[in-house]
Amino acid sequence: MKCLIVQPMHAAGIALLTDAGVEPVMSPDTDIETVKRLIRDCQAVITRDAGLSAEAIAVAETLKVIVSHGAGHDSIDKIAAGKRGILVCNTPGANARSVSELALGLAIAAARLIPAADQAVRAGSRGFREASTFCELFGKTVLVVGWGAIAQGLGRMLDIAFGMRVLVYSPRSTGDLPYERVERLEEGLAVADLISLHTPLREETRNMLDARAFSAIKPGAILVNTARAGLIDETALAAAIEDGTIAGAGLDVYSPGAAQGPLGASSRVIFTPHLGGTTGEALERVALAAAGHVLTALSGGRPATTIELQRVNA
């Protein structure tokens, strides 16, 4: 049996597959023609943000399972997989600690304008600290949007280390929360000093922070997004940065070219190249989880994180 590895994966996951008798097929790039050529006789695929298109799935005659190396699965064509009865699963929680820590780092960096300060020092510029304004996080209020493993980790960090009041906006979460729940997004936006996004991209969450939402935000708030680019209307964010509604933003996800556009022109916006789950520790955990799902599926089992798909006759 063969498993196509669309993008690089930690050696621990490769070893787990190999030891179980599954041949890893390493794709040299993510070009669709390359993937189509290599996937034809594979029974499994592990892919990261490159996803897997309907075009690639169509030529995979023996494919049984597609595993997302991470929590996100937006870029996998689940309709095409469902038509073929192919399992699709992900690895939520495996990189949660790493993403939570990055979100915390971006919040601090945005509050203290650390990247801009570094650039000023390197350029020999004087007067940066006198011309800029900074803020502390301690004792302030954070609105955490979503309540999965990443959001929970960040909430605990901010509570324990910074004594922050933690508000949670998560319509899909059920049961009691360890922190205060807000029923309406605008309710939390109005009082939050820090807003951190940790919700999947769905139709109801697309552009959830648009011009209307920014008008409800407490002036001077910090915004962090380590979830999905489509959660934020970037034109509206640029305007909110310009008028001071948002004092600083830390973005690990954003649309192509955003860093070269209006947002990139502001020293109060920090971009990182989707670093959330890229620590060595997280990459190993995710790789082992992804490989484990492949082995479960190929042995006739159903991975615990299998996404429910409606099987449609072709």
Q: Which domains does the chain have, with CATH numbers?
A: 2-94+279-298 (3.40.50.720), 96-271 (3.40.50.720)
- 3-state SS string over the chain? CEEEECCCCCHHHHHHHHHCCCEEEECCCCCHHHHHHHHCCCCEEEECCCCECHHHHHHCCCCCEEEECCCCCCCECHHHHHHHCCEEECCCCCCHHHHHHHHHHHHHHHHHCHHHHHHHHHCCCCCHHHHCCCCCCCCCEEEEECCCHHHHHHHHHHHHHHCCEEEEECCCCCCCCCCEECCCHHHHHCCCCEEEECCCCCCCCCCCECHHHHHHCCCCEEEEECCCHHHECHHHHHHHHHCCCEEEEEECCCCCCHHHCCHHHCCCEEECCCCCCCCHHHHHHHHHHHHHHHHHHHCCCCCCCECCCCCCCC
The pLDDT of residue 301 is 97
Whether residue 313 is predicted with pLDDT greater than 50 in this model: the reply is no
Whether residue 311 is predicted with pLDDT greater than 50 in this model: the reply is no
Whether residue 314 is predicted with pLDDT greater than 60 in this model: the reply is no
- List, for residues 110-148, the tens digit of each pLDDT value: 999 999 999 999 999 999 999 999 999 999 999 999 999
The pLDDT of residue 74 is 83
pLDDT-derived band at 71 (thresholds 50, 70, 90) equals: confident
pLDDT-derived band at 283 (thresholds 50, 70, 90) equals: very high
Whether residue 46 is predicted with pLDDT greater than 70 in this model: the reply is yes
pLDDT-derived band at 310 (thresholds 50, 70, 90) equals: low
Averaged pLDDT score across all residues of the chain: 95
Whether residue 72 is predicted with pLDDT greater than 90 in this model: the reply is no
pLDDT average, residue stretch 212-235: 97
Whether residue 239 is predicted with pLDDT greater than 60 in this model: the reply is yes
